[in-house]
Amino acid sequence: MLAAAMGSWTRPLCKCCASLPVQPQVTLELSENISVETKRWLMSRIQAEKIAGGAELMVHPGEDDEGNMLLVSASRHVLLRAAEVLGLYKLYKDGSMISFCYRDRRNFENSDNIDEFLTLAECQFIILRSLGNIKAVDEKYVPGYPTTSLYPGESIFNRLQKSKILLGFYPLHQEEMLSELEKCWYSHRKLTLQPIDSIYRYYGGSVAMYFSFLEFFTCSLAPMAIFGTTVVALSMDTVDKCILFSVFNIIWSTVIMELWKRHSFVLSYTWGTLQMNSQFEEPRMGYEGPMGTNPITLRHQPYYPAWKRKVKIWLVSVPFLCLFLAIALYGTFIFFRLEAWVKGFYSEHENCWTCVLYLPSILHALYITGLNILHKMVAEVLTEWENHRLESSFQNHLTVKVLVFRFVNCFSALFYISFYLQDLELLRKNLASLLILTQIINQFTETLVPYFYKILHPKRAGLKSCTMENAPEIDKIKLQGQKTPFPGMFDEYMELFVQFGYVSLFSCIYPLSALLIILNNITEIRTDALKLCHLFQKPFISPAANIGVWQTAFETIGYLSVITNCLLISISPQVKEYCAESDITSNSLLIWAIGVEHALLVIKITLAFAIPDIPAWVKLRIDRVEYQSLHALKHKLFEEDKGPGRETEEKEGWPGEIVRSDSADSSLHASNRQLNLL
Amino acid sequence: MLAAAMGSWTRPLCKCCASLPVQPQVTLELSENISVETKRWLMSRIQAEKIAGGAELMVHPGEDDEGNMLLVSASRHVLLRAAEVLGLYKLYKDGSMISFCYRDRRNFENSDNIDEFLTLAECQFIILRSLGNIKAVDEKYVPGYPTTSLYPGESIFNRLQKSKILLGFYPLHQEEMLSELEKCWYSHRKLTLQPIDSIYRYYGGSVAMYFSFLEFFTCSLAPMAIFGTTVVALSMDTVDKCILFSVFNIIWSTVIMELWKRHSFVLSYTWGTLQMNSQFEEPRMGYEGPMGTNPITLRHQPYYPAWKRKVKIWLVSVPFLCLFLAIALYGTFIFFRLEAWVKGFYSEHENCWTCVLYLPSILHALYITGLNILHKMVAEVLTEWENHRLESSFQNHLTVKVLVFRFVNCFSALFYISFYLQDLELLRKNLASLLILTQIINQFTETLVPYFYKILHPKRAGLKSCTMENAPEIDKIKLQGQKTPFPGMFDEYMELFVQFGYVSLFSCIYPLSALLIILNNITEIRTDALKLCHLFQKPFISPAANIGVWQTAFETIGYLSVITNCLLISISPQVKEYCAESDITSNSLLIWAIGVEHALLVIKITLAFAIPDIPAWVKLRIDRVEYQSLHALKHKLFEEDKGPGRETEEKEGWPGEIVRSDSADSSLHASNRQLNLL
């Protein structure tokens, strides 16, 4: 249907692609009062050849009443070619994963069937990148908007989005695939593993990585849960148990993070993202700077020197973070003072309400929540102001800022109770209530907040009813546009991070944590999946090779847990009792605790070092491919060496060109680390 | 002279090279009773074309009386071509360092003058590698030695060396260059910086790296020495001083290791070894295994699976190391018992000799030295038995083994004194005597041992006199062969490592350490240089980018120093006095010490993270080159896209091949990390 309508608008570059109906992949939402001139210009730029600064994509006006929609799709050859440039690794006929090569495409599995060969997420990501790559050529301003200036080489889509001519773009759901995915993902009642590969195909790297990590984390909690439940059931409240549980805990946290690293390598190897090079990442939308000469490209373009960013980070962002931390810590301190005061007040005035007792906790919870929201806003402004060039670097800096703050906010009260008050009974109660309460609250808010958000945006809701007069396909697309944009995986990872903190930092105090978290996460998987499939717009997800900065965050918690566990044991009443019985002074106990702590840290580092990050079979396959490419190069060297012109050119230089310089030079790079590992 | 004599023997591949006299670069020493058949076969293999499994080198029989010498040299084109394969980075006409490309050689600085373009060390290393690459083609055995079998593809030189037909090979000194180097290196009396670049040109990467590190380390000790001397001169023996000195020490050790990392990046960038790929490293001589199918190359060749090596390392080598450590620690323990006993004995029996008092120390020194020698022998056997495939991996494993053992052996007594006996006065005395005595002993042995070694090898000395009847050039070469082979930089680095340990682990006890070490190292530079230039054969040195495993070793000492300094302060009498005055219990003092220790560790990690490893200007240049290569590739994509055949091929696939697959694919690799950093 769409392909037929496109006839007059699109000029597909090869006939074989145009002859099949093409499903739209991405929708662009333009401002409502867009002129035909601007729309036509935009379409021509999207269709234009790469050499003319275009994207060579197929585009179709949405044919809705408002006329502010464009549907974009890509032909098979454009997609395949982009896959080569992107450096995607695909399954070769010999069963290995190698960097896709367009010329050699027939030897790759499924390359004739584009829907099998490239995943939906990959196709949509390629289209997003191609759109972002459309550069202004000789336009001085956006046609129809004389005030919106352009400079040669500027990304048109950046400019359009900044000046609100382009309201947004979102990839489209494919209903059949989605309903099939839902069926095997969460709509059945049985407890099965998730279809991670299907999730990858539909949603892309980081989403699939998150769900895989969630599943892995939940499963790996099982031994902790069994151990913890046994301990509680048998009520073995002795020193030995405490120490045993802590040591188990420390080894467990190290081993599961290492195993996860291995597992994520396997996943990204089979997805072809492990060895993918990410050098083609484009500057992010918000990147700005005075026009200057980029010292690397030597071109005249907005350029923001890295040292200025560093100055901003160290002189403004870091102090700001410290200030927030101080405010949060001070709040916790006030809370404990207030609570003590209220307790005293309550015991003195017996006729006042009991709920007064809960006032400090409620105030503190509100304070923390408010501070969290405020800090996230400030962190976003600061990170934006730091002016990062790449989206990934922006995200990493934002994540680290929010992560550190949330961590302190979540755990400061627990640290205060355990190491200042040294009241392990209170700590146990707090842990239990935190685990149970926050999980219930989270489950509710995670599902309810998106609904409330919709109700609070009546403009979109109004739009919803009036557009229902278009063709049903167009209405479905419009409906998707009205959904909330996907907010990213930050809050989901944060939840897991806090859970991991509870389990590994304090679990020896409350051994049931692991069990509670498992129960929570089994429902978490379903609610997260439901949210992703129905409450949000489909996100653009780049092919991801790992969970990024979160890996470091979880590992850091692992190292912290050695310190907390050793301290918790040394201050536990059982150990103190034991020491009193055996005439051990608190001084020598402390020395022992420090010794054990350092020894455990060394064991942890050794263990992390001894477990190889990449599984042997993945490494073997990668090495084999690298060896083969080197071998092919050597063969080529010989071949060209034998070639004609050997005798005649003797005087001039080396007989016969060895090999085409660039290919030789860079093939060597390709086979980096090659023979080291044979 | 040599070139003329070569006429009948060598067949240089291009006339322009043969027309100039060629200086021999490498000498092969064959067994004395070698047959003419074997020698002739060997020469033909060395001269043979690459395609026939040869090395395309020039070879000349030494024309000595015994006839067991071959002189090897390489033509300019062979060297340039090998430099491309090796992936050496050289100075381009625009001032940047880029991977050398033979076809584009005219645009590289000095590429017409081979002596300027490639350093002597690089040339000799290239010849060594070319010789090692000579593979058996269809020979079933070595001609003249029917019992020495060969399999197709086996490295001939490995086989010849194993079966003692080839006794050794060594690169030759170039007298003019050497005397010039000596002049500006160590034979003048002024205190100047070393000519590191000339050392690099003459001796190659790891030697120059060592001397540069030695110089850098000595210079960076200056602030410590000034601070320490001031402290001693003003006799500020207070708590503040102790703490101040320790904190300074910890920051100093972090900062200098980070600065050295930056400095070594600058060095290796200017040498062109920073970005060099090392994937072409060949298996080491000793690598053996049953004939099997290599799972990576799928070829029939000696193959030793990695898991077996791991089993050997973890189940044999590590326990053996632990056993040796236990023996060494037990010895130290016995020494302290013995010393206490001797002291008691001496005070009881006043008529015995005073020298009895020194007996335990002498016995302990002998014990430690003997154990060191024994352990090194065992470590060498074990590492050989672990059967590492690469020389670098063999060296790393050997270094780590010996390093850990030596560290424990050197420092266990000091740790025992400081943390078990807590006798800081004894520690101070011990440190002073160790620093002064071992340095004097080292200076002597380092210069004397090679002389003694020569005297203990009468066979070589005998040879020396009888060969004096050859032509003077040949005799000079023979003389070089009689020198001791270069034993590697291990002992030199070990000395610096121990020095660094004294300074950073215990210096707050004996602030004069830094000054003593500076004085030692100024002479050390001269003796090491002298040894290298005159006592040893010139070594084959591969282009090195850093100091390898030693960087990690020094950094580990840095982390250890945080722990020792905090502990030393908390047990120092001044602090104890202060605590007694201010009513601080030893328990809370310990808690403070632990807190400070953890805080300092965090500061150290932050500092190491905050100081960028690569200097900004080097990073900028690397990024610029990577950007340019990417840009060139994109331009090529456009060009080939425009090319003919666009319209006609539309049906078949993408119009016109985008780019030659391999070059596109791998150029992407070459420009890895490219845009991330713009």
How far is CA B32 from its chain centroid?
33
* A296 near B CB under 8 A: yes
pLDDT given for residue A667 in this prediction: 36
pLDDT of residue A666: 37
Nearest residue on chain B to A17, judged by CA atoms? B651
- Tell me the residues of chain A between 1 and 60 that have a Cβ less than 8 Å away from chain B: 13-16, 50-51
Residue-wise pLDDT for B286-342, tens only, equals: 677 776 776 776 666 667 888 888 899 989 999 999 999 999 999 888 888 888 888
Is residue A151 exposed (0-12), middle (13-18) or buried (19+ Cβ within 10 Å)? middle
Q: Do A670 and B666 touch (CB under 8 A)?
A: yes
The pLDDT assigned to A7 comes to 36
pLDDT at residue A12 in the model: 39
pLDDT of B612 above 60: yes
- A322 pLDDT band, cuts 50/70/90, is very high
Cα B146 from Cα B38, distance rounded (Å): 11
Q: CB A623 to CB B586 under 8 A?
A: no
Identify whether the C-beta of residue A28 lies closer than 8 Å to the C-beta of residue A166. Answer: yes
Coil, helix or strand at residue B592: helix
Identify the weakest region by mean pLDDT among A213-217, A327-331, B461-465: B461-465
pLDDT at B433: 82
Nearest CA in chain A to B314: A610
A13 to B650: CB separation less than 8 angstroms, yes or no: yes
Q: What is the largest CA-CA distance in chain B?
A: 111
Q: What is the dihedral of CA A121, A124, A125, A130, to 10 degrees?
A: 160
Q: Which of B387, B648, B654 to mutate to test the interface with A (most CBs of A within 10 A)?
A: B654
Give whole-number Cα distances, B192 to B100, B120, B183, in Å: 34, 24, 12
**End-to-end Cα distance, chain A:** 55
pLDDT higher than 90, residue B68:
no
Which is higher by pLDDT, A15 or B226?
A: B226
> B131 near B72, Cβ under 8 Å?
yes
B666: closest CA of chain A, how far (Å): 5
d(CA B190, CA B187): 9
Q: Nearest C-alpha of chain A: how many angstroms from B53?
A: 11
DSSP states of B632-656 as a string?
A: HHHHHHHHHHHSTTTTTTTTTSSSS
d(CA A130, CA A310): 31
- Subunit contact A296:B590, Cβ cutoff 8 A: no
The pLDDT of residue B163 is 85
What is the Cα–Cα distance from A118 to A125, expressed in whole angstroms?
11
Does B661 contact A102 at a Cβ distance shorter than 8 Å? yes
CB A10 within 8 A of CB B645: no
Query: To probe the interface with A, which of B315, B400, B663 has the most A CB atoms within 10 Å?
Result: B663
Q: Closest partner residue to A650 among B15, B591, B672, by Cβ?
A: B15
Smallest Cβ distance to A627: which of B297, B620, B660?
B297
Encoding tokens for residue B511?
A: 């602030």
Amino acid making up residue B509: I
ipTM of the complex: 0.71
Q: What is the pLDDT of residues A590-647, one digit of tens each?
A: 888 888 888 888 888 888 888 888 888 888 888 777 777 666 655 555 555 554 443 3
Residue reference for tokens 């310089």: A661
What residues of B are in contact with residue A314 (Cβ under 8 Å)? Answer: 610
Q: A663, B662: Cβ pair inside 8 Å?
A: yes
- Give the whole-angstrom CA distance, residue A608 versus residue B659: 43
Inter-chain contact A14–B650, Cβ cutoff 8 Å? yes
- Which residues on B lie below 8 Å from A668 (Cβ)? 85, 87, 99, 277, 279, 666
Q: Which of B610, B623, B670 sits opposite A666 (nearest CB)?
A: B670
Measure B671 CA to nearest chain A CA, in Å: 7
Q: What is the pLDDT, as a whole number, of residue A210?
A: 93
B653/A624 touch (CB, cutoff 8 Å), yes or no: no
Average pLDDT, integer, range B2-18: 40
The model's pTM is: 0.78
CA angle, B137 then B138 then B142, to 5°: 90
Amino acid at B588: S
| Higher pLDDT, residue A378 or A137 | A378
Q: Which of B295, B671, B674 sits opposite A620 (nearest CB)?
A: B295
Per-residue model confidence as pLDDT tens digits over A440-466? 777 777 667 656 655 665 444 444 444
Task: Give residue A222's pLDDT.
Answer: 93
Beta bridge partners of A166: A30
Distance from CA of B422 to the nearest CA of A (A): 14
Tell me if residue A103 falls in helix, strand or coil: coil
Mind listing the pLDDT tens digit for each residue in B469-488?
Answer: 566 777 778 888 888 888 88
Are A279 and B389 an interchain contact pair (Cβ–Cβ within 8 Å)?
Answer: no
Residue B671 contacts A where some CB pair is shorter than 8 Å: yes
B614 CB neighbours in chain A (<8 A) are: none
Residues 130-159 of B with CB under 8 A from A: none
DSSP H/E element including A563? helix A549-571
Whether A342 contacts A360, CB under 8 Å:
yes
Q: Which residues of A touch B392 (CB under 8 A)?
A: 676
In angstroms, rounded to a whole number, what is the distance separating the alpha carbons of residues A604 and A607?
5
C-beta atoms of A277 and B14 within 8 A: no
* Cα distance between the two ends of chain B: 54
- Predicted local confidence at residue B8, as pLDDT: 33
Query: Is A106 an interface residue toward B (CB < 8 Å)?
Result: no
Chain B residues touching A293 at Cβ < 8 A: none
Q: Which pLDDT does position B145 carry in this prediction?
A: 85
Per-residue pLDDT tens digits for A344-353? 888 887 777 7
**Encoded tokens for A151:** 């400079």
Helix (H, G, I), strand (E, B) or coil at A30: strand
Residue-wise pLDDT for B513-564, tens only, equals: 888 899 888 888 888 888 888 888 888 877 777 888 899 899 999 999 988 8
SS3 A39: helix
CA atoms within 13 A on the CB side of A13: 26
Q: Which of B167, B169, B262, B148 is nearest to B216 (CA)?
A: B262
Report pLDDT digits (tens) over B649-678.
333 333 333 223 333 333 333 333 222 222
Write out residues 624-653 of A within 8 Å (CB-CB) of B.
624, 626-627, 629-633, 638, 641-642, 650-651, 653
Contacts of B623 in chain A (CB under 8 A): 296
Q: Is B107 on the interface with A (CB under 8 A)?
A: no
Distance in angstroms (rounded) separating the CA atoms of residues A78 and A218 = 41
Q: Which residues of B touch A390 (CB under 8 A)?
A: 676
Average pLDDT rounded to a whole number, residues A327-339 = 88
Using an 8 Å Cβ cutoff, are B268 and B97 in contact?
no
A96 touches chain B (CB under 8 A): no
Contact yes or no for B532/B438 (Cβ under 8 A):
no
B594 vs A594: CB contact, 8 Å cut-off? Answer: yes
Question: What is d(CA A76, CA A15) in angstroms, rounded to the nearest whole number?
Answer: 11
Q: Do A295 and B620 touch (CB under 8 A)?
A: yes
**Would you place residue A211 in the very low, low, confident or very high pLDDT band (cuts 50, 70, 90)?**
very high
CA nearest to A674 within chain B: B279
Q: Tell me which DSSP letter residue B304 carries.
A: -
Residue B487 contacts A where some CB pair is shorter than 8 Å:
no
Regarding beta strands A145-149 and A166-171, do their DSSP bridges make them parallel or antiparallel, or are they unpaired?
Answer: unpaired
Alpha-carbon distance A419 to A434, whole Å? 18
- pLDDT attached to residue A655: 31
Stronger pLDDT, A39 or A51, i.e. the higher one:
A39
Rounded to whole angstroms, the Cα distance separating B108 from B91 reads 6
- What letter represents residue B633's amino acid? L
Closest CA to A365 of A342, A331, A324, A337: A331
| Helices vs. strands in chain A: H and E counts, helices first | 26, 10
